[in-house]
Structures are given as structure tokens and as C-alpha cells.
Amino acid sequence: MKSWLTQHTQALKLVLRRFKANLLNTLFICLAIGVTLALPSIMYTVLSSLSGLANNVKSESQISVFLSADQASGTATSIKAALEKNAVVKSFKFVSKEDALKQLETATANNNVLSSLEQNPLPDAFFIAPKNLDAASVESLKNELAKLEGIEEIVVDGAWIKRLNYLILIGQKAMVIITSLLGFALVAVIGNTIRMQILTQQAEIELSQLIGATKSFIRRPFLYLGALYGLIGGLFALLITYAVISVFNQSLNTLAREYQTDFSINLPDITSGSVVCLLSLIVGLVSAYFAVSKSLFKNIN
């Protein structure tokens, strides 16, 4: 256990010493990794903020159920009972046609038009907030409600939200593709850097093998190197993401105020930040492993 620990601290110290010796080079490599990772990370942040916005608006959205004008007297009560039993309904509000008319009167300046009407043209209505907001469950709830009697029309609010959701979906697909492409680029960049490092240390590696170094002893510092490149690159990516989003948020806030809303892109929190760092660390480690296995032990045993 102790020797295991010594071996690892030894390798880590060695790597850090080399980092210090080639500080500028190391920084540039990490920066390249950071820029590569920043793009998907920014995309992810923007998309998750947008889909948060969509969810937010949707939770205010409702299914409006308008009852037919010539309904039987008990219809409203029976629908009410059905809604209360329904598990996917979060809450609902009943607005009778009298209430609706009163609301309209207060909202409209020109009362003459309304008072000139012979009878109340408005129907009784239920406004339902569903529990699940995704398109499929809203659709199935709508179909369920359509089976009830005495209903004239069911209107699902927010067609534009649907469209926004599709746009977000397309964005997410693009993000996945870009992330995987850039992931490959990252593996190539880190792998090549490690291969260069191996070349500059060829003499030491060869000698070490001759005087009894195990493969893992030789491999270990390079694995640490890859992991550290990944980790520092991930931190750079976060910094870039923070900077870019902060810059955009200023203008977005001004724009959102014009629409009387309050919207800004959320900066990555600790969880997503650590996920970015961890992922890039793993990518670094894996690409280092491949680079080392491919080019290190070609000419021994």
C-alpha cells in the first residue's frame, strides 16, 4: 500500500515538475483543450436555459376546456369530479360563464358593447394545469378529456412552446454531434501531445526498460499527464463558458426587459462544472492510455 502510494506520488511529482519546466507549452495545450471543450459547454448551458424557459412558460400554460352552451345542468359537476380523480391533473380552476363575463367587463373599457348583448355568449370553462408538461402527456390528457360529455372544445395553449421545444430538440441533437466530433478531436490532440512527450523522453524510457522498470512505471507519468491536461483544460473551458455567457447575459437582459420578461442564461453551477472537469479528465486519461499503449512498447519484449 505504501509503495503503491510512493509510486503514484513519485509519478505525479515528476509530471508536475515537467509542467513547471514547460509552463508556457503546457498552458497553450490546456488552452487548446479548453477552447475545444468550451463550445459544447456553452451550447449545453444555453440549451438548458432555453428549455428551462420553455418549461417555465409551459407550467403557466393550461388546457382550456370549454363546455357546450346547451349542456345539461350536472355536466360541470361531473367533469369536476372526473378532474379531481385524474392523476395527471395538477390543479384546475372552474370559471362559470357569469364569472367570465364579469372578468370581461372589468377588462374591457367599452361596456356598451357587452350590455347590448342579449345573452351571455361565453361558455363555462375549466382551466387545467397538467402535472407533466411534455407534449406526449399533454396530448394524452387532451384525448382523455375529449371523451367526457358536454365538452365543446379543448384548447391547448402555447403552440409556440411546442415549436420552441422542437427547436431545442434540434439544438440538442446538434450539441451531441458537435460534442462527439470535438471529443474525437480532443482525443487526437491529447494523444499527439503525449506521443510528442514520449518522443522527447525516448532515451529515458529505453534506459528505464533496460534497467528494470515495469511497463506501468513507465506508463504512469503519461497517464497523469493526460489526466492533468484534461482537468486543466476542463477548468479553462469553464472559465471561457463563464466569460462568454456573462458577456451575452448583459445584452440578453436588456432585450428581455423590452419583452417585459426576465431572462438570462444560467451560469454553470458546481455540479455541471465538476461534470465538465471530470469528463475532460477522463477523456485526457483515455487518450493518454491509447497514445502510450500504441507508441511506448513497440520495441521491447
Partner 1 sequence: MISFDNVTKRYPGSHEALTNVSFTINQGELVYVTGHSGAGKSTLLKLMAAIERPTTGTVLINNQNVSKLKSGTLPYVRRKFGLVFQDHKLLYDRNCYHNVALPLSINGITGQDAGKRIRAALDKVGLLDKEKAMPITLSGGEQQRLAIARAVVSRPSILIADEPTGNLDRVYAADILQLFNAFQQVGVTVIIATHDALGNSQNEHVSSKILHLNQGRLVKAEVAA
- Does 25 participate in binding partner 1 (rule CB under 8 A)? no
Question: Which of residues 10, 103, 111, 137 is near partner 1 by CB under 8 A?
Answer: 10
Find the binding residues for partner 1 in span 242-281 (CB under 8 A). Answer: none
Tell me whether residue 11 or residue 265 sits nearer to partner 1 (CB atom): 11
Asked if 103 is part of the footprint of partner 1 (rule: CB under 8 A), the reply reads: no
Q: Is 19 in the site for partner 1 (CB under 8 A)?
A: no
Question: In the range 175-234, which residues lie near partner 1 by CB under 8 A?
Answer: 203-204, 206-215, 217
Shortest CB 224 distance to partner 1, Å = 15
Calculate the CA 166 to chain-centre distance.
15
Residue 199 CB, nearest distance to partner 1 (Å)? 13
Cβ proximity to partner 1, 207 vs 239, nearer residue: 207
Closer to partner 1 by CB, 10 or 137: give it.
Answer: 10
- Which of 116, 89, 292 minimizes the C-alpha distance to 198? 292
Q: Is 3 in the site for partner 1 (CB under 8 A)?
A: yes
Concatenated DSSP letters for 4-66? HHHHHHHHHHHHHHHHHHTHHHHHHHHHHHHHHHHHHHHHHHHHHHHHHHHHHHHHH--EEEE
| Beta carbon of residue 6, minimum distance to partner 1 (angstroms, whole number) | 5
Between the alpha carbon of residue 221 and those of residues 10, 25, 195, 202, 231, the distances in Å are 9, 17, 13, 14, 15
Q: Rounded CA gap, 187 and 231, in Å? A: 14
CB-nearer residue toward partner 1: 87 or 211: 211
| Nearer Cβ to partner 1 (154/213) | 213
**C-beta closer to partner 1: residue 75 or 208:** 208
Q: Is 87 in the site for partner 1 (CB under 8 A)?
A: no
H/E element holding 141?
Answer: helix 135-146
Residue 119, phi-psi category: left (phi > 0), alpha (psi -120 to 50), beta (remainder)? beta
- Minimum distance from residue 225 beta carbon to partner 1 (Å): 16
Burial of 210 (C-beta count, 10 Å sphere; 0-12/13-18/19+):
exposed
Rg (CA), the chain: 31
CB of 214 to partner 1, least distance (A): 5
Q: Which residue, 17 or 163, is less far from partner 1 as judged by CB?
A: 17
Out of 6, 22, 137, 180, the only residue in the binding site for partner 1 (CB under 8 A) is 6
- Listed in sequence order, the residues at least 6 apart from 222 whose beta carbon sits closer than 8 Å to its beta carbon are 194, 197, 198, 288, 291, 292, 296
| Residues at the interface with partner 1 (CB under 8 A) | 3, 6-7, 10, 203-204, 206-215, 217, 301
